[in-house]
Amino acid sequence: MLRIGQSHYDALRQHGQESYPHECCGVLLGRVDDQGVRVVTSLVRCGNTRTDSPQNRYNIDPKELVRIQREGREREEDIIGFYHSHPDHPAHWSQTDLAEAHWLGCSYVITSVDQGTPVSTHSFALTGSEEGDKQLIAEDIEVI
C-alpha cells in the first residue's frame, strides 16, 4: 500500500495536467513502515527526457535520479516510488512500463489525463525477486 498526503497527491496529478499532452514523471521519496506501507514524505518533479515520443513514453535522466537519491538520503528519505501520467489513456501500466520498471519493492503511480484533466490515479507495486519474474500488482493508495 502507498500512503500519501493530500497535497502531494494533488501535486502529482497537477503535474500530469501541466504536462499534457505529454507524459509527466517524477519520484516519490519517503520510507517503508513496519507494516510494509510505503509512506511518501516528499515528491520530486523530473523532466521527461523522451523527446522522441513524450506523449506516450517517459524517462528520467539516470544522473538526475542519482542526485535525487543522494539528496534524499541526506534527509533520511529513500526512493519509494515513481509517478507518471497517461495522456488520453487509462491509468493502467503498459507493457513498456513493466519492461522499463526496475525498482523492485517500489510503487509506480499512474494518472490518466483525459483532454487535459486528471481523472483517475492508480498505484502498482513492482514485486518479484529479479527482472525475470517481476510484476506490477495493483495496490491501494491511502490519501491522508
Q: Is 87 helix (H, G, I), strand (E, B) or coil?
A: strand
| DSSP state string for 97-143 | HHHH---TT-EEEEEEEETTEEEEEEEEEEESSSGGG-EEEEE-EEE
Binding mask 55-94 for Zn ion (x = CB under 5 A): ---------------------------------------x
Grid cell locating 14: 497537477
C-alpha cell at 76: 533520511
Fill in the per-residue mask, 95 to 114: x = in contact with Zn ion (CB under 5 A), - = not in contact. Answer: --x-----------------
Shortest distance in whole angstroms from residue 70 CB to Zn ion: 26
Q: Which is nearer to Zn ion, 69 or 94 (CB)?
A: 94
Residue placing its CB nearer to Zn ion in the complex, 94 or 120: 94
Distance CA 100, CA 62 (A): 13
Which of residues 96 and 117 has its CB atom nearest to Zn ion in the complex?
96
Number of residues that bind Zn ion (CB under 5 A): 2
Residues that bind Zn ion (CB under 5 A): 94, 97
